[in-house]
Every structure is written in structure tokens, then in C-alpha cells.
Amino acid sequence: MPHLPFQELPVADPGTADLRSPARYLTWVARHQLGQLVVAAIFGSGWMLCQALLWAAVGAAIDHGIVNHSVRGLFTWVGVVMALGALQAIFGALRHQMAVTNWMLAAYRTIQLVGRHVSQTGTSVTDVVPAGDVVNTVAADAMRVGGAFDVVARFVGAIVAWVVVAVILLSTSVELGLIVLIGVPVLASLTTPLMRPLHATQAAQREAAGRLAALASDTVAGLRILRGVGGEAVFYANYQRQSDLVRQRGNRVATPQAALESGQVLLPAILTAIVTLLGAHDVMAGTLQAGQLVAFFGYATFLTTPLRTAIEFVIAMTRAHIGAGRVLKILRITARVAEPSASQPWPDVINVYGDARTGIRLERGVFAALVTQTPSEAMQIADRLGRFVPEVDDVTIDGVPLTSFSLSDTRRHIVVDDIEPRLFSGELRAELALHDESQVDDDDDRILNALSAASALDILDALDEGLATSVDERGRRFSGGQRQRLSLARAILCDAQLLILVEPTSAVDTHTEGRIAARLRGARRDRTTLVATTSPLILHHADEVILVVDGHVVDVGTHRSLLAKSPQYRHIVMRDDLA
């Protein structure tokens, strides 16, 4: 069997999609794989044509061989039948190969677009679309989009075969040819009124399924909390109700879909009966030969294949249209933080990070601590300095606005490790050194040093496979404190010019916190670090402590000096009552 060259997945660049409508999006996808679609259409047409011409060859074998008592004519046309059968097998295999290729190309291009958009827009997507819906879009809707391109080759072949059969029939019998030529599209059009209810019921079922997935995702993520407060039964009942709704809406989809699929049997049967009846009459009248009647009967039976293919194409396009609509819902979400129209190159050396709105000023190489009245206020400041919010015009790098630099450069050189540690599935070694995958295998010493700074070597010692250990989803096998320390080690390994840590020791015990406080400054030598914390152990090791109240810097100094002179600082850090 010939081997066709395949395009590697994922593609280097999925492109910029046309987001104006689902139909335009599907057209845009088709343009990107037009060559593969054309090749598939050629194979699909050859596959269908071999099936169509097979009946002409069978009829010729009857008329030239059996009726005329010609052994040579019989074997000649039997050979033609066998040749058509062999070609049909070859074209069928190649068509299927290209159909799968087109399906995968369209599906994975869609998956790449969604993945890239989610990574670029961050939490903007999940602010609008539940995380479960995003997962369903990748797992189901993208595959529905690909499914439309799977059936394209057969649909083109069905059209070509229908035209060829109609020409053969017209040349043999104008009456029968016109019946086929007009009857097939008329019968196929009878299914059109069923498209709208099918579209509506599928959309409703898809929406209910997305909510069910979101509910399941949220429940699993909060299972420990649910067990603690005794809420498992309540959420189980909620899930059961939503699951019943999905089942009910799925049953409603069955009615219009069953009507369509029933049409695949009933409508061709009507056409077959008409063609057979009229053809038999012509044979009795002597205007049609016996072999031609057999061919006509075969054509009437064969035409069920193009008709079913056309109906299948309509169903697949309906599903793809719905899936594309769900994809566009995500792709149309704009990022809270936009790329600058023209970006400056990131400087090799940065002397001062400044925020005019809050008054924060961080000089090169300083190990600073940020003290605020609430953790949420610290997170807001971290988001500003890390450019995770749009209003950062007052944040500068050596006097140049942070918005003048590209987001990719900003993310590479300013790293914010927030209060909720997040671990991802995969090998622990790659999990810790995500920023530099090319050096993961030969840089274990650097990873071990970062783990030591985060007081996390004991976690590694407890793992049988060490750095090769596979991390479960969300790092479930680790405790909250272990996840926090691993996340801290990962942040240290980024070696960012500015590292912002928000409550990096909130989930660890006092002894572990003391070790982290003593080692963290050394691990960040010659790099700028800002730690948002109220831990006296970390504040004691800071070069300077920045006290922010109501969004503005009110005092700067060492931990000891602020304890001596600032009642507000003592109240926040030591829980002293304000005089």
C-alpha cells in the first residue's frame, strides 16, 4: 500500500483564525489544508467512481457474455469487474488515510489555537468560560470540527459519482436518467427541515454537558474541602441532577437525528422502487436490455451510498458548526493585558524597578520584603509589578514604562509566584525546570541547589525515583507545604531578573520557614527579589522592608528599624494593638 507523506503535528504556527462566524472559521481551516483536501477528494472520487462503474461492467458482462453467448466477452467484462474492484480497494484505502489526515489536521489546528489563546489571555478565558467548558472544547468540539473534514472526500466523491451515474442513465434512458438526476436532490432536500431542530437540540445537549464537566472539575478540585464540611452529598445530588439533564437533552437529540438516519433508508428505497419498476417496463417493451436492467437496479441500490454520504456530510457539518461556535466563544475573549504595538528590546541590566502609583522602588540586587495589611493587597501589587493587569502605566524599568516591552520578555524576566502553588503533571525534573527544557537532563545540580534553597530536599529523598518521579495532576500526592516548597524551587530556577514571591512560606512549619529565610537571599544573589510576607523570620533577612498601607508606601527600613518606629508595622507583623 502506498505511504502518503503526513504533515507533522502540532504545526509550527496554527495561524490567525477568522473569528467572524463559525462558517468563516471552517472555511479558514479548509484553506490551510487545501492541498490535502484536494488529494482526498481525488481518492474519494476514484473510490466512488469504481463502485458506480462496477454496475455498468456487470451489465455489459450479462449482455455481451451471457445473452450473446460469448465466452470471450464474458471473461473480458469479468476482468473489468475485477480491475474495478482492485482499484476501489486501493482508492478506498488511500481515501481513508487522507480522511484521517484531514480530520487530525483540522482538529489539532483548533486545539493549538485554543491552547495558544488560553496561554496568552491567562485567566481572562476562565473569567468568561468555565474551565470544564474549555476542556470540553479541546476534547470534543475540536474533534467535531475535524469530523467535517473527514467526510469531505466522500462527499465530493458522492457528487462526482452521482453526476457520472446520471450521465450513464441519461445516455441509456432519458426517462430514468431524469428520475435519478432530479429525484436524488429532491429526496435529499426533504431532510433539510430536520436540520434546524437537530442543530438546536445538539447545542442544548452540548451546553448541558459542558456545565456537567465544569461541575465535576470544581467538585474534584475541592473534594478535600467538601469532605471537611460534609458537603459531598449535596454536590453529589447537584451532579446527579445535571447528569439527568444531559441525558434528557441527549434523548431529545435522538429524535431529529433518527429521522435523518431513517431517511437514509426510506428515501433511497423509494428511488430504487421507481427505477426498478420503470426499468422492468422498458425491458418488457424491448427498449432496454436485460444487462442494462440489472445495471439500473444496481445503480438504484448504489445511489443509497452517495445519498447517505450527503446526509452524513450535513450531520457532520452541523456538528462542526456547533463545535466551531464553541471554539470561537473562547477565541473571541480578549486578554486583559495587551501586547504593545511596538516593543523595545529588554535591557541586559536593570538598575531600578519603580511603581509611581504605590511608591515602590527596587534597586538592582536588593532582597526586599513587602508588608501589606492583607494578602489580597500584596497580590494586587504583585500583579501590577508583573504586568498581569492592564493598568500598569506607572510601573517603569529604569524610567521606561513596563508597557513598552513585549509580554514574552516581561514574563521571562519578571516572575510572580503567587500565594496558591500550582504543580502540573509530568516528570518532576521537567516540572521544576520548565523555563529551560533543553538543559533539564544535564543540570540536576542546579535543580538540587534550588531545592535546597527551598528546603525541599527531604521531599526528593522520600521519592523512590527522585527527579524522575511522575507528578500527578495538580500535584495531589504532595501536601500543601510540599507543593509550596516545590513551587518556590521552580521560581528560583527561573533565575528571573525580578522575582516576586507572595507568601512563599504560608503553608510550612516554623523550622522549615527559618531554613528558607536563611537560604533564599543567597539563592537570589545579584538578582532583585521582592517577598510579600508578614513572617518575621523572612523580614529579618531582608535588605529593606517596604510597608504599604491603602495602596501607598508609608515607610521603608529594616525589620528592626520599622519595629522600633512604626506602630502600623508592629500591628501588622507582630499583631500588636495600635496605640
Q: Which CATH code fits 22-331?
A: 1.20.1560.10
How many helical (H) and strand (E) elements, i.e. helices and strands, does the chain have? 23, 12
**Full 3-state SS string of 24-37:** HHHHHHHHHCHHHH
| Cα atoms in the Cβ-side hemisphere of radius 13 Å centred on 190 | 16
Please give the grid coordinates belonging to residue 334: 480578549
Give the whole-angstrom CA distance, residue 513 versus residue 96.
61
Q: Which residue matches cell numbers 435523518?
A: 260
Buried (b) or exposed (e) across 290-310, using 16+ Cβ within 10 A?
ebbbbbbbbbbbbbbbbbbbb
State the pLDDT at residue 2: 45
CATH number given to 352-573: 3.40.50.300
Question: Any idea which residue has 513587602 for its cell?
Answer: 370
Residue 399 CA to residue 416 CA, distance in Å, equals 21
The answer to whether residues 268 and 308 touch, using CB atoms and an 8 Å cutoff, is: yes
Indicate the Cα dihedral angle 194, 200, 202, 206, nearest 10°: 180
Distance between CA atoms of residues 40 and 328, nearest Å: 27
Peptide bond into 10 cis (omega under 30): yes
Write out the three cell numbers for 169. 442513465
Query: Across the strands, what pairs with 353?
Result: 362, 397
Distances (CA, A) of 99 to 4, 25, 92, 153, 433: 12, 19, 10, 7, 39
Specify the DSSP element, H or E, that contains 226.
helix 223-229
Question: What's the rounded Cα separation, in Å, for the pair 327 and 354?
Answer: 40
Average pLDDT of adjacent 10-residue blocks, the chain of 579 residues? 55 82 89 87 86 77 68 76 85 86 86 82 73 75 87 87 80 74 69 68 74 66 53 68 80 76 72 73 68 70 76 85 87 78 85 93 94 91 88 89 88 86 79 60 78 88 82 77 88 90 88 90 90 93 94 93 92 75
Q: Which amino acid type is present at position 127?
A: D
Amino acid at 110: T
**Identity at 52, one-letter amino acid code:** A
Q: Looking at this protein, which amino acid is placed at residue 217?
A: S
Each domain of the chain, given as residue ranges in start order, spans 22-331, 352-573
**Nearest partner of 101 among 35, 150, 41, 148, judged by Cα:** 150
What is the reported pLDDT for 76? 81
* Dist. CA 360–CA 374, nearest whole Å: 17
Q: What end-to-end distance do the CA atoms of the chain give, in Å?
A: 88
Q: Are 422 and 474 in contact (CB under 8 A)?
A: yes
Question: Letter for the amino acid at 252?
Answer: R
Question: What distance in Å separates the CA atoms of residue 25 and residue 22, rounded to the nearest whole number?
Answer: 5
d(CA 46, CA 348): 61
Amino acid at 417: D
Do 152 and 41 form a contact (C-beta atoms < 8 A)?
yes
3-state secondary structure of 557: strand
* Residue owning grid cell 504532595: 478
- The answer to whether the CB of 34 falls within 8 A of the CB of 150 is no
The residues, any chain, with a CB within 8 Å of residue 183's CB and separated by 6 or more, are 271, 274
d(CA 221, CA 207): 21
Sequence-distant (≥ 6) Cβ neighbours of residue 573 within 8 angstroms:
371, 534, 536, 539, 563
Q: Helices (DSSP H) in 230-342: which residue ranges?
A: 232-285, 290-302, 304-331
In three-state secondary structure terms, 577 is: coil
